[in-house]
Amino acid sequence: MTAHLAPVVRDALLPTTHSWLEKPPLEPFIDGAFRAARSEDRIAVVDPGSGLTVTEFTAASAQDVEDAVSAARTAFDDGRWSELDPEIREEKLRRLADLLEADADTVTQLEALDTGKPLAEARLDIREAVAVLRYYAGWATKVEGSVIPAPRRFYATATREPIGVCAAITPWNYPLPILMYKLAPALACGNTFVAKPSEQTVLSTAYFAQLCAAAGIPDGVVNIVPGAGATGAALTSTPGIDKIAFTGSTRTGQAVMRAAADTLTKVTLELGGKSPQLVFADADLDAAIDGVMGGIWTNAGQVCIAGSRLIIDRRIHDDFVAELLNRTRQLTLGHGLASATTLGPLISSTQRDRVTSLLEQAATENADIQTASALPDADGFFVSPTVVTGVRPGHTIEREEVFGPVLSVLAFDGEDEALRLANSSAYGLASSVWSKDASRVHRVARRLQAGTVWVNTYGVFHPTLPFGGVKASGFGRELGSAAVDHYTELKTTVIDL
């Protein structure tokens, strides 16, 4: 099938990206090979910047999922990966990272085309994916156990062993980095893997499957089953999986956890957020404005950590919001592959309509809605960056995760009220404090209910930094050494001396 590409895409694509798109391997990747999916369920790959269907693929069926899990099971049980010397696993994962880095330009273009995000953001995503792979490659040779001070008659150790078959269900906003948060520690620790990418963004994951084969990852160690909710549901209920790592909406996370209860499969869940950015009058306001903007306009607000609630000292509210709108007007809304674009479209018409309807609801609740730029003269699922002031606790726009370029602003009088507003959310993923007062920063950071608190910055991710939520934002931590605990199980061995 010839890819249907908008002129802006056709002009921007490298020959390598273009030729890959002519015949993308979007079949399930099972036991080291792409195999035709056994279902009739066709899914469109849509360019969110133009609305055009680029290509299509067939969703993996429950039978395909069973085959993928069985391939991963066999690959785990026969030790072709877990029994390798750790330095060999490290070497192969490093090779995988090198291959991804070598193809970064192509993968960046695929990710920008598939997600709609600007190229500069997609480039950072691929860099992050490479960095996460390299970081966990190093862990392959560093997972250690301990000798336990049991009664002297015994020699007792606690060693970390791989869990077995690990599954991942990933979302469409950061397809490759979020896959790496799960796959890289799983493989480093000796597990085998089955991943289901979001049906809305399958391209980079398919590309990555090819690289696994090229890097010499043994057949069956990494398996991919592209598809939508039905494929995900099949994955969560197929026996033979030892752990599921899910990133997505809170509602789907609940369904994943319910399904996992039947097979007693371990789960970690990284879910939604409604993260507050607390700006105090004593902050470096210039830096705070840029930080708040980065926190909400990045990926057009389709970020689980989006700093979507600006909670600001009433005394600086008006000036801050005016300057924030000024700077937001400088953003260029457009197709992700157009070089001037700094803010892309939303992932789908459904998502655009949901955001629009939340804004309509906010208007009926008497909030004040200010859009910062006109929509581009193009098809595609665009929403103008929007600041909603006059928001009060209980407003729909204050409670619901929007997943779009919409910033809700709440004013506070005093630190206690700021914290009350911040913590009133059902979610607890991320947060930030902007202030130059060191004591205040510590006081507030300690009381914020969130997996991450950024101080005088926002959205800092690094392979070393554990990431995850509290409350309705889920549980379990990805990245850093914390993930190693989730992808290994302790074994206690007691020897009678």
Nearer to ligand ADP among residue 185 and residue 248 (C-beta): 248
CB 171 to ligand ADP: min, Å = 4
Interface with ligand ADP, residue 233, by CB under 6 A: yes
CB 84 to ligand ADP: min, Å = 30
- Please state, in angstroms and rounded to a whole number, the distance separating the CA atoms of residues 488 and 72: 16
Pair of tokens at residue 87: 């330095």
270 in active site: yes
CB 440 to ligand ADP: min, Å = 35
Nearer to ligand ADP among residue 165 and residue 169 (C-beta): 169
Interface with ligand ADP, residue 48, by CB under 6 A: no
Longest C-alpha distance within the chain, in Å? Answer: 79
Residue 401 falls in which region: left (phi positive, over 0), alpha (psi -120 to 50) or beta: beta
Interface with ligand ADP, residue 474, by CB under 6 A: no
Interface with ligand ADP, residue 71, by CB under 6 A: no
Nearer to ligand ADP among residue 220 and residue 404 (C-beta): 404
> By Cβ distance, which residue is nearest to ligand ADP?
232
Among 157, 210, 249, 361, binds ligand ADP (CB under 6 A): 249
Alpha-helical (H) ranges within 23-103 are 62-77, 86-102
Interface with ligand ADP, residue 273, by CB under 6 A: no
CB 200 to ligand ADP: min, Å = 7
Which letter does DSSP use for residue 78 in this model? T
User: Which residues make Cβ contacts (< 8 Å) with residue 23, sequence separation at least 6?
Assistant: 1
Pairing mode, if any, of strands 266-270 and 243-247? parallel
How many CA atoms, within 13 angstroms, populate the side-chain half-sphere of residue 378? 23
CB 95 to ligand ADP: min, Å = 28
CB 158 to ligand ADP: min, Å = 33
Comparing C-alpha atoms, which of 289, 340, 290 is closest to residue 317? Answer: 289
Of 304, 398, 401, 478, the active-site residue reads 304
304 in active site: yes
Nearer to ligand ADP among residue 135 and residue 381 (C-beta): 381
Residue list 154-183, contact with ligand ADP (CB under 6 A): 169-171
Interface with ligand ADP, residue 252, by CB under 6 A: yes
Contact 388, 397 (CB under 8 A): yes
Among 112, 203, 256, 472, binds ligand ADP (CB under 6 A): 256
Of 90, 270, 398, 478, the active-site residue reads 270
CB 47 to ligand ADP: min, Å = 17
Nearer to ligand ADP among residue 143 and residue 224 (C-beta): 224
Interface with ligand ADP, residue 116, by CB under 6 A: no
The binding track of 191-230 with respect to ligand ADP, each residue x by CB under 6 A or -, is: -----x-xx----------------------------xx-
Size of the site for ligand ADP (CB under 6 A): 16
Contact set with ligand ADP (CB under 6 A): 169-171, 196, 198-199, 228-229, 232-233, 236, 248-249, 252, 255-256
Residues classed as catalytic: 270, 304
